[in-house]
Structure 1
Amino acid sequence: MTAVDDRPMTTGIVKFFEEFVFPEGFKVELLRGEIVMMAGPDVAHNDIVEAVVDQIPRSRWRRLQTQDIAILEESSEPQPDLVVIERGAGPEHGRLMPSEVITMLVEVVSKTSVDRDYGVKRSIYAAAKVPAYLIIDPVMGQCVLLTEPTGRGEHADYRCQRLTKFGDITPLEPVGVELDTSEFAVYEKVRPHRYP
């Protein structure tokens, strides 16, 4: 039995989520027992993900998009914008990637995902002990790299946080890359927020 199969299914929501057929064209995630559906992303969002993928060397890293994550002890199956795993690690088949093999997760903030990306996902990824979580925020024109996960459940968080502005080099030590953000677009006509 794999780690993915060992996840608790006490509420039945995980089983329901995995068996339900959701409408096409929507991104669907299970976040702490809540099913969240979102419309497809903005073009600027996809351009940013593409730029990040282009800068992480394929020879050393698997750069997976639209990959669902399995997290032990959580009723969560998030689908980050980008999952970075050492080449050769993790399963070659299946819908779920165990969080234990992940080096870094990337979320590009959308106009409607600010609270999820900075709040519940930050906690979920820290609880999963994912070593690095990069939030790329076109609302505020900034990147937030979170490292050193600590804690459990809803109280989990990251000890270290580094904020850089778009246009500045963003060091991503966990994957050995200095991320060039000079071409990252900022969303227009969106109200600023208070995060991180």
Structure 2
Amino acid sequence: MTEIGPPVTLNDWFARLEAMPVPEGYKAEIIEGTVHLTSRGDSQWAITADLYEQLRTRYPRTRLKSGARLDLPGRLNSYAPDLMLLAEEAEQDGRGLWRCADVQFAVEVLPRDTPDPAHGLREAGYALAEVPVYFVVDPRRGRCHAYSKPGEGRVHEQTDGHLRRRRGSHRHPGGHCPQNPRLPPRLTPPLA
């Protein structure tokens, strides 16, 4: 019998994940060599879709990606941001992946029903990759955070804001998040 050792590369990890599919309603990311499964509910999709619609008024569809594989520096890191904005001149590499250097900002919507144990690790990974802005929406706490000015493998600035309900909207309530000149001017994720 042939022994199967631990995965050595990100491609090894993804080959194994494809052989044993990720359960529906979850996304898989590889963070520091460990597979993290995160639940993806309707509230996360509603928030992501709302952000996408807002950003589409300012950026072409080809610059916005959701759930695309993004390999980051460090030991076996591959994330799937809920939404990311690519630079105008961004091109995929020879493997068909987007380069970290082309990501202008990444958005993660934390699960509403369970804590996300990989959140701090993601923050460090995006800082190490020098993604200019890492935007986190936390519907459980009704908060959002913008981490910016990465350098030396850490984030140098954090801006926090509260999510506030929009008037007249019960089905898709929303909120206003912190404004940052490097972020699009209007980000109002719903708390659906």
**Range of TM-score over shorter length:** 0.7 to 0.9
TM-score (norm: length of structure 1): 0.76
> What does 1:43-58 correspond to in 2, within 5 Å?
43-56=42-55, 57-58=58-59
Tell me the residue number matched to 2:168.
Answer: none
TM-score (norm: length of structure 2): 0.77
C-alpha distance in structure 2 between counterparts of 1:185 and 1:121, whole Å: 22
Which secondary structure state, in structure 1, belongs to the residue aligned with residue 14 of structure 2?
helix
1:14 aligns with 2:10: yes
Verify the 8 A CA contact 1:172 1:178 in the aligned structure 2: no
Verify the 8 A CA contact 2:73 2:125 in the aligned structure 1: no
CA displacement at 1:169 relative to structure 2 = 4.7
Report the identity percentage.
Answer: 18
Tell me the residue number matched to 1:166.
Answer: 163
CA displacement at 1:44 relative to structure 2 = 1.0
C-alpha distance in structure 2 between counterparts of 1:35 and 1:114, whole Å: 13
Q: Which amino acid in structure 2 is aligned with residue 28 of structure 1?
A: A
1:29 aligns with 2:26: no
Tell me the residue number matched to 1:185.
Answer: 191
Q: Which amino acid in structure 2 is aligned with residue 23 of structure 1?
A: P
Q: Which entry has the higher C-alpha Rg, 1 or 2?
A: 2
After TM superposition, the runs of 4+ consecutive aligned structure 1 residues lying more than 6 A away are none
Residues 27 and 70 of structure 1: CA distance in aligned 2, closer, same or farther (over 3 Å): same
1:87 aligns with 2:83: no
Deviation per CA, 1:64-122: give whole Å up to 9, x if none.
Answer: 011010123431011111111123313288552211110001000113353312x1000
CA displacement at 1:13 relative to structure 2 = 4.2
Verify the 8 A CA contact 1:70 1:77 in the aligned structure 2: yes
Tell me the residue number matched to 1:66.
Answer: 67
CA RMSD after TM alignment: 2.5
Q: Which has the higher strand share?
A: 1
Verify the 8 A CA contact 1:104 1:130 in the aligned structure 2: yes
Verify the 8 A CA contact 2:110 2:116 in the aligned structure 1: yes
Q: Which moved more, 1:106-115 or 1:131-140?
A: 106-115
Aligned length: 169
C-alpha distance in structure 2 between counterparts of 1:104 and 1:77, whole Å: 16
